[in-house]
């Protein structure tokens, strides 16, 4: 019987390839409040709904990050709170051999896009279980949100640096 040896692949070759991995997606925090129940439940008026969504990123190690979508849904009737839902949907994401300049956009765009369907579902389910018609959050353009944050950060940096970054037009005499 002939033994054949297969040359071992160099482990450094495979470790040099870029990699993105979802380690875990989980509901980190969820709360529901109905501060004016039961009296407000008897008011027959259409509620006004406000939705706020934010993204938070925490570095857990060199290559591992926690990304959390934080949402607050407030429904009011006659300026009184009907219900308030606060949810934090999170995920742990691993980046290996990805250039540093590409990680930030992935954390601000790709990861929230992955988490958002879970957040939408959890909020709709919570509102439904509270006895109301579920509210399905609209789609969010996380790329636009990310670009807006970059512009805000640049404007804040320009403000900190003062007149040095102002653009001026000099007119001829």
Is residue 76 assigned to a domain?
yes
Is residue 172 assigned to a domain?
no
pLDDT at 54 > cutoff 90 = yes
pLDDT, tens digit (0-9, with 9 covering 90-100), for 106-157: 999 999 999 999 999 999 999 999 999 999 999 999 999 999 888 988 888 8
Output the domain CATH number for residue 68: 3.10.420.10
Is residue 2 assigned to a domain?
no
Its domain, for residue 67, covers: 18-161
pLDDT, tens digit (0-9, with 9 covering 90-100), for 16-49: 898 999 999 999 999 999 999 999 988 888 999 9
Is residue 123 assigned to a domain?
yes
Is residue 6 assigned to a domain?
no
Q: Provide the number of structural domains found in the chain.
A: 1
d(C-alpha 50, C-alpha 16), whole Å: 46
Q: Are the beta carbons of 108 and 149 closer than 8 angstroms? A: yes
Is residue 5 assigned to a domain?
no
The alpha carbon of residue 169 and the mean position of all alpha carbons in its chain are separated, in whole angstroms, by 40
More confident residue, 53 or 159: 53
């Amino acid at each position: 019987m002939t033994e054949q040896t297969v040359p071992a692949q160099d482990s450094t070759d495979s470790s040099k390839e870029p990699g993105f991995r979802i380690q875990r997606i989980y509901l980190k925090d969820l709360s529901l409040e109905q501060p004016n129940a039961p009296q407000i439940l008897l008011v027959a008026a259409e509620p006004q709904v406000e939705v706020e969504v934010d993204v938070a990123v925490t570095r857990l190690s060199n290559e591992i990050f926690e990304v959390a979508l934080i949402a607050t849904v407030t429904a009011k009737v006659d300026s009184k709170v009907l219900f308030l839902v606060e949810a934090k949907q999170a995920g742990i994401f691993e980046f290996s051999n990805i250039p540093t300049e590409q990680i930030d956009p992935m954390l601000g765009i790709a990861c929230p896009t992955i988490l958002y369907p879970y957040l939408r579902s959890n909020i709709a389910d919570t509102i439904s279980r509270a006895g109301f018609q579920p509210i399905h959050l609209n789609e969010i353009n996380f790329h636009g949100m990310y670009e807006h944050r970059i512009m805000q950060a640049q404007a804040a940096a320009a403000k900190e640096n003062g007149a040095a970054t102002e653009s001026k037009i000099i007119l001829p005499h």
